[in-house]
Amino acid sequence: MSDGVEDLLRELAPQVLGALARRYDQFDACEDATQEALLAAATRWPATGLPENPRGWLLTVATRRLLDEFRSDSARRRRETALLAATPQSALLETPAEPDVGGDETLTLLFLCCHPSLSSPSRIALTLRAVGGLTTAQIAAAFMVPEATMAQRISRAKQTIRAGGAAFTMPEAAERGERLLAVLHVLYLIFNEGYTASTGTDLTAPRLSDEAIRLTRLLRRLLPGDGEVAGLLALMLLTDARRPARTGRDGSLVPLEEQDRDRWDQALITEGVTLVTETLPKGAVGPYQLQAAIAAVHDEAKDVDSTDWPQILALYELLEHAAPGPMVTLNRAVAVAKVRGPAEGLALLATLESDPRMARHHRLLATRAFLLELSGDPAAAPTYREAARRATTVPEQRHLTLRATRLAAADDKASERAG
Amino acid sequence: MKYLLMIYGNQEKWGEVPQETWPEEIAKQDAWNRKYQETGELIGAYGLADAVNARLVRREGGAPAVTDGPYLETKEYVASFYLLDVESEERALEMAADMPWADRDPVELWPILHEAPAVP
């Protein structure tokens, strides 16, 4: 299938599902029918060429599938009769009229996929399928689980939505803010999953970080005035800009301070910085905007030493106020060390040791090792080693082991010279 | 987050289970498998053959050299293993504690190093 057709289908997927779900209000059946219509288009269009009205074509095919499904299901017979009676005959036979502008429906769809009754893996899977138009096989490949496992997860998620009686309607205004936060968090998780994965060569699945950026752009078109949506998009662009420099040729992890900044993607940086600059002055600065602002300061520095660390520290202080959490404190400790010296950074880290979420966390140990290294403390090497033992990913574990080994070798040489 | 859950045993231990309760024990395990396959959290459940079927493999002069043992000094060996994909460590612990025999013998739970970590 040509990329053009695939891109078009994935753009139309939420619009078709949205229109269908709004009309029939049976999300799970509508979702199945939409996937079948997408599949039919994917096999037919490359051979026959695009129909005149691709969205109408998909909507017609999906509607027919949906009604076939209703007819074949005897348990739904009564509802089917009511549904058929309520549907004008023309809607069954003719190309449906151009659906309303897909915006509100796509947004409703996003809210439904991030429904509070769903676990976060289910929200992610459902969003990628229903809004992203990805197949179950593609989502399974991206998360490295068998297709059957992912199919179960998606079908359970749809059952949960049905059992909970969640309707395909926009949440009440009072609830909308909270639901938007859930949507942003899901998009952020999808981005992170894709960004930290070192296996980026899988041809069967689109890169999840690209998908997250595409969906966040879509969300920004729907909610152009929302600062946090803009902030999240900027954060993704400014982080993704560093991707080319982030891994060595052998797939090893290259930390920010050692990255070749000439390999950063300047176009993404420019776009991200512009977004941050436009959004920040508008007030009501949320955590995504602050994280984007921090990423922008890093991305605009020629090298580590010319980084505006006082600015980064000030932003972390704001972030700690807006969205306190141990990870924020951890990052603030690095900024404190850069501005006021490693001893003060270590003192701030010490406050995290009583936090049960952090006490045994490899990132706390890795950061402490880094600050110990900055202050020339020989405890750095064993601390890196302990961090490596607790690391949860292969690239991090290798990177931390390497640092421990390098430092230990340097310490040995130094003590040989001293001896 | 992916986890490996393992149960250990040996013939002696299986022998202690009265024959007539075996079907019940197996049904309990099948129910556990089904329950978590349905939530999409159990990726796979694998029972291992008896230790008499295990082989030690070395490479000698570039060719495989296969023997029946001796194995590491161990009274119990891995009997079954399960691959989990869950949202959090807490959830993995909950599933492990829900294993049919977990009130008699502990099960082992090992995190699997993942290429893409859950974001803290």
At B88 the pLDDT is 87
In A, minimum Cα distance to B84 occurs at A145
The pair phi, psi for residue B57, each rounded to 5°, is -120, 130
Cβ-contact A189, B106 below 8 angstroms: no
Count of CA atoms in the C-beta half-sphere (13 A) of B104: 11
Distance (Å, rounded) from C-alpha A196 to C-alpha A215? 18
Kindly report the CATH number assigned to the domain that includes residue B17: 3.30.70.1060
Q: What pLDDT is stored for residue B85 in this prediction? A: 93
Q: Which of residues 20-79 of B touch A (CB under 8 A)?
A: 37-40, 42-44
Residue B32 belongs to some domain of the structure: yes
Burial class from Cβ neighbours inside 10 Å (0-12, 13-18, 19+) for residue A49 reads exposed
Per the prediction, chain B carries an average pLDDT of: 87
Q: pLDDT by residue (tens digit) across A122-146?
A: 999 999 999 999 989 889 888 888 9
Is there a contact between A246 and A253 (Cβ–Cβ < 8 Å)?
yes
Residue B19: give the domain boundaries: 2-112
Max distance between CA atoms of chain A, in angstroms, equals 94
In a domain, B35, yes or no: yes
Tell me which residue in B39, B85, B113 faces A145 most closely, judged by beta carbons: B85
Q: Please give the pLDDT value at position A96.
A: 45
What digits encode the pLDDT tens for the residues B3-41?
Answer: 999 998 887 787 888 888 889 989 999 999 999 998 899
Q: Is residue B54 part of a domain?
A: yes
A145/B114 Cβ within 8 A: no
Q: What is the number of other CB atoms lying within 10 angstroms of the CB of residue A43? A: 11
User: What are the contacts of A80-89 at 24+ separation with CB within 8 A?
Assistant: A83/A24
Give the chain B residue whose CA is nearest to the CA of A325: B120
Measured from the Cβ of residue A193, the count of other Cβ atoms closer than 10 Å reads 22
Q: CB contact, 8 Å: A246 with chain B? A: no
Contact A199 B1 (CB under 8 A): no
Residue at B7 is within a domain: yes
CB contact under 8 A, B115 and A197: yes
Per DSSP (E only), the strands in chain B are 2-9, 42-47, 56-60, 63-67, 77-85, 108-111
Task: Specify the pLDDT at position B120.
Answer: 32
Contacts of A189 in chain B (CB under 8 A): 119
Closest Cβ–Cβ partner in B42, B44, B113 for A397: B113
Q: For chain A, positions 5-64, list CB contacts with chain B under 8 A.
A: none
- Any B CB within 8 A of A146 CB: yes
- Assess contact for B5 and B82: CB atoms under 8 A: yes
Task: Mark out the alpha helices in A259-393 (DSSP H runs).
Answer: 266-279, 287-300, 309-322, 326-340, 342-350, 362-374, 380-390
- ipTM > 0.95 for the complex: no
Please check whether residue A131 is in contact with residue A109, taking contact to mean a CB–CB distance below 8 angstroms.
yes
Q: What's the structural domain count of chain B?
A: 1
Within A87-196, where are the H helices?
A: 89-93, 103-113, 120-126, 136-143, 147-163, 173-196
Q: What is the pTM of this model?
A: 0.85
Residue A84 has what pLDDT?
Answer: 58
What is the identity of the amino acid at A220? R
Residues of chain A with confidence (pLDDT) below 70:
1-3, 73-102, 196-205, 419
Is the residue at B119 inside a domain? no
Is A323 an interface residue toward B (CB < 8 Å)?
no
